[in-house]
Amino acid sequence: MIHEGVLFVSGTGTGVGKTIVTAAVAALASAAGQRVAVVKLAQTGVQPGKHRGPGSDIPDLETITRLSGVTDVYELARFPDPLSPEAAARVSGLPPVNFAAAAAKIEELSTARDLVLVEGAGGLLVRYDSEGKTIADLATVLNQQGLDAPTLIVTAAGLGTLNHTALTLEAAAARKLRTAGVVIGSWPRSPGLAERENLADLVTLAKSPLAGLLPAGSGSLSAGEFGTVARKGLTPALGGTFCMQSDH
Protein backbone atom coordinates (compact mmCIF):
# COMPACT_ATOMS: atom_id res chain seq x y z
CA MET A 1 0.00 0.00 0.00
CA ILE A 2 1.36 3.43 -0.95
CA HIS A 3 1.95 5.75 1.99
CA GLU A 4 -0.84 8.18 2.84
CA GLY A 5 -0.72 11.17 5.16
CA VAL A 6 2.31 13.44 5.48
CA LEU A 7 5.76 12.39 4.33
CA PHE A 8 8.82 14.50 5.06
CA VAL A 9 11.70 14.22 2.62
CA SER A 10 15.03 15.18 4.16
CA GLY A 11 18.61 14.57 3.19
CA THR A 12 21.93 13.73 4.75
CA GLY A 13 23.17 16.99 3.25
CA THR A 14 22.74 19.23 0.24
CA GLY A 15 22.91 18.00 -3.34
CA VAL A 16 21.96 14.39 -2.56
CA GLY A 17 18.82 14.31 -4.72
CA LYS A 18 15.98 15.28 -2.36
CA THR A 19 14.06 17.15 -5.03
CA ILE A 20 14.30 14.28 -7.52
CA VAL A 21 13.17 11.77 -4.89
CA THR A 22 10.30 14.05 -3.90
CA ALA A 23 9.29 14.28 -7.55
CA ALA A 24 9.48 10.50 -7.91
CA VAL A 25 7.22 9.88 -4.90
CA ALA A 26 4.81 12.55 -6.14
CA ALA A 27 4.73 11.08 -9.65
CA LEU A 28 3.94 7.56 -8.46
CA ALA A 29 1.34 8.66 -5.93
CA SER A 30 -0.39 10.83 -8.52
CA ALA A 31 -0.31 8.01 -11.08
CA ALA A 32 -1.99 5.78 -8.50
CA GLY A 33 -4.85 8.26 -8.21
CA GLN A 34 -3.82 9.90 -4.96
CA ARG A 35 -4.47 13.58 -4.37
CA VAL A 36 -0.94 14.92 -3.84
CA ALA A 37 0.35 18.24 -2.54
CA VAL A 38 4.01 19.21 -2.24
CA VAL A 39 5.32 21.76 0.26
CA LYS A 40 8.79 23.31 0.03
CA LEU A 41 9.61 24.86 3.40
CA ALA A 42 12.25 27.22 2.07
CA GLN A 43 13.82 27.74 -1.33
CA THR A 44 17.29 29.25 -1.18
CA GLY A 45 19.57 30.41 -3.97
CA VAL A 46 16.71 31.70 -6.12
CA GLN A 47 15.65 35.33 -6.46
CA PRO A 48 12.17 36.16 -5.12
CA GLY A 49 9.49 36.81 -7.70
CA LYS A 50 7.70 34.89 -10.40
CA HIS A 51 10.18 35.16 -13.22
CA ARG A 52 13.72 33.86 -13.28
CA GLY A 53 16.43 35.76 -15.08
CA PRO A 54 19.13 34.22 -17.28
CA GLY A 55 21.39 31.94 -15.31
CA SER A 56 19.02 31.68 -12.36
CA ASP A 57 18.64 28.37 -10.58
CA ILE A 58 15.41 26.50 -11.20
CA PRO A 59 13.17 26.43 -8.11
CA ASP A 60 12.71 22.94 -6.70
CA LEU A 61 8.93 23.02 -7.03
CA GLU A 62 9.23 23.87 -10.72
CA THR A 63 11.39 20.78 -11.18
CA ILE A 64 8.94 18.64 -9.21
CA THR A 65 5.98 19.84 -11.29
CA ARG A 66 7.82 19.25 -14.57
CA LEU A 67 8.81 15.71 -13.66
CA SER A 68 5.72 14.56 -11.76
CA GLY A 69 2.89 16.58 -13.24
CA VAL A 70 1.78 17.59 -9.73
CA THR A 71 0.79 21.25 -9.72
CA ASP A 72 -0.62 21.46 -6.19
CA VAL A 73 2.60 22.92 -4.77
CA TYR A 74 3.42 25.43 -2.04
CA GLU A 75 6.66 27.33 -1.43
CA LEU A 76 6.58 28.85 2.06
CA ALA A 77 9.67 31.07 1.79
CA ARG A 78 12.29 32.05 -0.78
CA PHE A 79 15.71 33.59 -0.26
CA PRO A 80 18.20 34.71 -2.93
CA ASP A 81 21.43 33.43 -1.40
CA PRO A 82 22.47 29.73 -1.56
CA LEU A 83 22.81 29.34 2.21
CA SER A 84 20.99 27.53 4.98
CA PRO A 85 17.44 28.92 5.37
CA GLU A 86 18.36 30.69 8.62
CA ALA A 87 21.50 32.27 7.20
CA ALA A 88 19.79 33.15 3.92
CA ALA A 89 16.97 34.90 5.77
CA ARG A 90 19.45 36.77 7.99
CA VAL A 91 21.63 37.95 5.10
CA SER A 92 18.68 39.07 2.98
CA GLY A 93 16.82 40.78 5.81
CA LEU A 94 13.72 38.74 4.97
CA PRO A 95 11.63 37.03 7.66
CA PRO A 96 12.49 33.36 8.27
CA VAL A 97 10.10 30.47 7.82
CA ASN A 98 7.20 30.74 10.26
CA PHE A 99 7.02 27.22 11.71
CA ALA A 100 3.63 27.70 13.34
CA ALA A 101 2.18 28.79 9.99
CA ALA A 102 4.00 25.94 8.22
CA ALA A 103 2.56 23.35 10.62
CA ALA A 104 -0.93 24.81 10.20
CA LYS A 105 -0.62 24.78 6.40
CA ILE A 106 0.57 21.18 6.28
CA GLU A 107 -2.18 20.08 8.67
CA GLU A 108 -4.77 21.92 6.57
CA LEU A 109 -3.54 20.29 3.37
CA SER A 110 -3.55 16.85 4.97
CA THR A 111 -7.30 17.05 5.56
CA ALA A 112 -8.03 17.35 1.83
CA ARG A 113 -5.15 15.42 0.24
CA ASP A 114 -4.18 11.77 0.34
CA LEU A 115 -0.48 12.60 0.52
CA VAL A 116 1.37 15.76 1.50
CA LEU A 117 5.09 15.73 0.69
CA VAL A 118 7.21 18.17 2.67
CA GLU A 119 10.69 18.76 1.24
CA GLY A 120 13.31 20.30 3.48
CA ALA A 121 16.48 22.20 2.61
CA GLY A 122 19.80 20.47 3.15
CA GLY A 123 19.92 18.01 6.03
CA LEU A 124 17.68 17.05 8.91
CA LEU A 125 19.21 19.52 11.39
CA VAL A 126 19.68 22.55 9.13
CA ARG A 127 18.48 25.69 10.93
CA TYR A 128 15.49 27.64 9.64
CA ASP A 129 15.40 30.53 12.11
CA SER A 130 17.43 32.21 14.85
CA GLU A 131 15.90 29.89 17.45
CA GLY A 132 17.43 26.92 15.66
CA LYS A 133 14.23 25.24 14.47
CA THR A 134 14.78 22.36 12.04
CA ILE A 135 12.66 20.15 9.83
CA ALA A 136 13.05 17.52 12.56
CA ASP A 137 11.30 19.89 14.97
CA LEU A 138 8.45 20.41 12.51
CA ALA A 139 8.05 16.66 12.01
CA THR A 140 7.99 16.19 15.78
CA VAL A 141 5.24 18.78 16.19
CA LEU A 142 3.05 17.23 13.50
CA ASN A 143 3.51 13.74 14.90
CA GLN A 144 2.54 15.03 18.34
CA GLN A 145 -0.61 16.46 16.78
CA GLY A 146 -1.56 12.97 15.66
CA LEU A 147 -0.56 13.14 12.00
CA ASP A 148 1.19 10.16 10.45
CA ALA A 149 4.34 12.00 9.36
CA PRO A 150 7.42 9.80 8.91
CA THR A 151 10.65 11.05 7.34
CA LEU A 152 12.20 9.63 4.17
CA ILE A 153 15.99 10.01 4.25
CA VAL A 154 17.77 10.74 0.96
CA THR A 155 21.48 10.03 0.87
CA ALA A 156 24.44 9.95 -1.52
CA ALA A 157 26.08 6.85 -2.97
CA GLY A 158 29.80 7.44 -2.57
CA LEU A 159 32.46 7.98 0.05
CA GLY A 160 31.28 9.81 3.17
CA THR A 161 27.69 8.67 2.90
CA LEU A 162 27.92 6.10 5.70
CA ASN A 163 28.87 8.66 8.32
CA HIS A 164 26.34 11.22 7.08
CA THR A 165 23.58 8.62 6.98
CA ALA A 166 24.43 7.20 10.40
CA LEU A 167 24.38 10.68 11.96
CA THR A 168 21.05 11.52 10.32
CA LEU A 169 19.42 8.27 11.42
CA GLU A 170 20.79 8.73 14.94
CA ALA A 171 19.42 12.28 15.10
CA ALA A 172 16.01 11.08 13.92
CA ALA A 173 15.97 8.26 16.48
CA ALA A 174 16.97 10.63 19.29
CA ARG A 175 13.91 12.72 18.45
CA LYS A 176 11.71 9.62 18.21
CA LEU A 177 10.99 10.31 14.53
CA ARG A 178 9.81 7.36 12.48
CA THR A 179 11.75 6.97 9.26
CA ALA A 180 10.22 5.75 6.01
CA GLY A 181 13.52 4.35 4.79
CA VAL A 182 16.69 5.46 3.05
CA VAL A 183 16.84 6.28 -0.66
CA ILE A 184 20.00 6.85 -2.70
CA GLY A 185 19.12 9.97 -4.66
CA SER A 186 21.71 9.70 -7.44
CA TRP A 187 23.20 6.31 -8.35
CA PRO A 188 26.10 6.60 -10.84
CA ARG A 189 25.95 4.83 -14.17
CA SER A 190 29.32 3.23 -13.49
CA PRO A 191 29.48 2.69 -9.72
CA GLY A 192 32.89 2.13 -8.20
CA LEU A 193 33.92 -0.13 -5.37
CA ALA A 194 32.84 2.36 -2.68
CA GLU A 195 29.35 2.75 -4.13
CA ARG A 196 28.82 -0.99 -4.52
CA GLU A 197 29.99 -1.75 -0.99
CA ASN A 198 27.93 1.10 0.43
CA LEU A 199 24.74 -0.63 -0.71
CA ALA A 200 25.14 -3.36 1.90
CA ASP A 201 26.48 -0.98 4.54
CA LEU A 202 23.54 1.41 4.16
CA VAL A 203 21.16 -1.49 4.71
CA THR A 204 23.04 -2.32 7.90
CA LEU A 205 22.80 1.28 9.11
CA ALA A 206 19.10 1.59 8.28
CA LYS A 207 18.35 -1.88 9.70
CA SER A 208 16.08 -2.45 6.71
CA PRO A 209 16.34 -2.78 2.90
CA LEU A 210 16.86 0.42 0.95
CA ALA A 211 13.64 2.24 0.08
CA GLY A 212 14.93 3.13 -3.34
CA LEU A 213 17.73 4.04 -5.69
CA LEU A 214 17.36 6.57 -8.49
CA PRO A 215 19.90 6.78 -11.31
CA ALA A 216 22.04 9.89 -11.78
CA GLY A 217 20.62 12.27 -14.36
CA SER A 218 16.98 11.39 -13.68
CA GLY A 219 16.12 15.06 -13.36
CA SER A 220 16.89 15.66 -17.05
CA LEU A 221 14.37 13.09 -18.29
CA SER A 222 10.97 13.80 -19.79
CA ALA A 223 7.97 13.32 -17.51
CA GLY A 224 7.11 10.00 -19.17
CA GLU A 225 10.64 8.67 -18.91
CA PHE A 226 10.90 9.89 -15.34
CA GLY A 227 7.74 8.04 -14.34
CA THR A 228 9.24 4.77 -15.57
CA VAL A 229 12.50 5.41 -13.72
CA ALA A 230 10.63 6.38 -10.55
CA ARG A 231 8.61 3.16 -10.63
CA LYS A 232 11.73 1.05 -11.00
CA GLY A 233 13.63 3.10 -8.43
CA LEU A 234 11.28 3.17 -5.42
CA THR A 235 9.85 0.37 -3.28
CA PRO A 236 6.19 -0.71 -3.32
CA ALA A 237 5.56 1.31 -0.13
CA LEU A 238 6.35 4.39 -2.22
CA GLY A 239 4.48 3.19 -5.29
CA GLY A 240 7.28 1.46 -7.17
CA THR A 241 8.72 -1.99 -7.80
CA PHE A 242 12.29 -1.57 -6.53
CA CYS A 243 13.89 -4.57 -4.86
CA MET A 244 17.62 -4.27 -4.22
CA GLN A 245 18.20 -7.99 -4.07
CA SER A 246 16.87 -8.58 -7.57
CA ASP A 247 17.61 -5.24 -9.25
CA HIS A 248 21.19 -4.60 -8.08
Question: Active-site positions?
Answer: 40
Its sign, for the CA torsion 226, 228, 231, 234, is: negative
For residues 18 and 154, is the Cβ–Cβ distance under 8 A? yes
170 Rama sector, left if φ>0, alpha if ψ -120 to 50, beta otherwise = alpha
The helix-helix angle for 60-68 and 18-31 (nearest 10°) equals: 30
**3-state DSSP assignment of residue 123:** strand
DSSP 52: P
